[in-house]
A and B are shown apart, each in its own frame.
Chain A
Amino acid sequence: MLSRDAPLLYVLRNDLELNAAKFGCGLAQCGACTVLVDGVAIRSCVMPVSQVAQSEVTTLEGLGTIAKLHPLQQAFIDEQAAQCGYCTNGMIMTAKALLDRNPRPTEAQVRDGLAGNLCRCGTHNRIVRAVLRAARANGRI
């Protein structure tokens, strides 16, 4: 039985087995758990599931598949923008919301937009390049 307070992240991972969103800190500090709620990037580790009951939740699984990649996913592969890949979900989902708001961001805007997403491996520069590449490819759905 789900509690109304259950974090959305737990419901996604444990109940729906949608494992793209990751548990990093559980404290809204790292961004690994980012999903879109009605198009806005939020941290699902601190979002009670009851608060999204009337909303559309999009996870990384919903962007594209290996057979049919979203331009952002393609750009992350093209730039080889991951080491362990644990932050990748949050990077892509945050970038998705960013590009939806601002399809042609400058590099500074991308850096700013991803500033709250931590990458322990140090892949940041490739990630920024990937987002800019996706923007050039007009990465909007």
Chain B
Amino acid sequence: MNAPHLTRRDFTAGLGGIVLAFSLMPDALTQQPPRLPGSLNNNRLLSAWLAINADGTATIFTGKVELGQGILTALCQIAAEELDLPLARVKIISGDTGRTPNEGQTAGSLSVQNSGTALRLAGAEVRSILLDLAAKKLGVAADNLKVADGTIAAADGRKVTYGELAREADLKREATGKVAPKPPAQHRVVGQSSPRVDLPAKVTGGAAFATASTCCRAGTWPTPSGQVLHAREDRRASSATAIRSRLTTYRGSASPAT
């Protein structure tokens, strides 16, 4: 046999070389996608965060849930700001495990930092996608277009709305995280006090809490942050509405069985 002679020193030095080679490997070679800010890193599709609807509204999705900290309102404000949409035209879906990005827990004052950052960047990127579509449609450079309240206008007065572009806007693509969000000096919605979007349901007994879901009866358990709510919640909500319309005042004489 002609085995190479390997001293302990050679062996250890070789190991060092290997370790160094791995730790210096650039992202492209290790095939790691580039790190994106906030929760965008683990939920990279723009469509995971935002949908533009044909009626000119936007639906945004968050894995964070409302615990009284006002997060649903804050996230709507952030998205409305970047999209140049009025707050009233942004609807939010939260903590529905079938539809929303998986953002782990709602804890540690991290919701604006992680979910807010993702929505801010995704919002800016979706706005620029819509601008590009409008530029093509109107035959004008995107730089010469102005956006206000979800309407994109050329200098000559021609317009196209987000709603009209909704079908063409392909958001099933990875966020780049490269479209710069608005500088704070231009903020009009963020930084203002907005009425909480969750209060109307809370003052009328609407579906605002995990305990109002019927999923527990079907044998699923809510997580402490209430993220188990599934499609079933809709069923509950509609049946509750149906009951409410028949029975806003419950007469106890509908007698309990004994």
User: Which of A16-59 touch B at CB < 8 Å?
Assistant: 16-23, 37, 49-50, 52-59
A109 at the interface (CB under 8 A from B): no
Is there an interface contact between B250 and A57, defined as CB atoms closer than 8 Å? yes
**What residues on A are CB-neighbors of B204 within 8 Å?**
20, 60-61, 63-66, 69, 73
Closest to B70 in A: A83
Complex contacts, A4 vs chain B, CB 8 Å: 256, 258
Which of A85-93, A99-107, A110-118 lies at the interface?
A: A85-93
Report B221-252 CB contacts with A as 1/0, cut-off 8 Å: 00000000000000010011001100111111
- Which residue on B lies nearest to A54, using beta carbons? B253
A-B pairs with beta carbons under 8 A, tally: 120
Kindly list chain A residues whose C-beta atoms are within 8 Å of the C-beta of B69.
83
- Of the listed residues A4, A19, A63, A76, the one surrounded by the most CB atoms of chain B closer than 10 A to its CB is A19
With A77-B195, A85-B68: A12-B250 Cβ-Cβ less than 8 Å: yes
Q: Does B198 contact A (CB under 8 A)?
A: yes
Interface of B is mostly: loop
Q: Does A108 contact B (CB under 8 A)?
A: no
Category for how many chain B residues contact A: 35 or more
Contact A83-B68, Cβ < 8 Å, known A49-B256, A53-B252, A53-B256: yes
Residues in B whose Cβ lies below 8 Å from that of A84: 67-68
CB <8 Å contact, A2 and B205: no
Chain A residues engaging chain B, CB cutoff 8 angstroms? 1-4, 6, 8, 11-12, 16-23, 37, 49-50, 52-66, 69, 73, 76-77, 80, 82-86, 88-89, 92, 121
Chain B interface (Cβ < 8 Å from any Cβ of A)? 67-70, 195-196, 198-209, 211-212, 214, 236, 239-240, 243-244, 247-253, 255-258
Give 25 CB contacts A-B under 8 Å: A16-B250, A17-B236, A17-B243, A19-B205, A19-B207, A19-B209, A19-B211, A22-B209, A53-B252, A53-B253, A54-B252, A55-B252, A56-B249, A56-B251, A57-B250, A62-B249, A64-B204, A65-B204, A66-B200, A69-B200, A69-B204, A84-B67, A85-B208, A86-B209, A88-B203
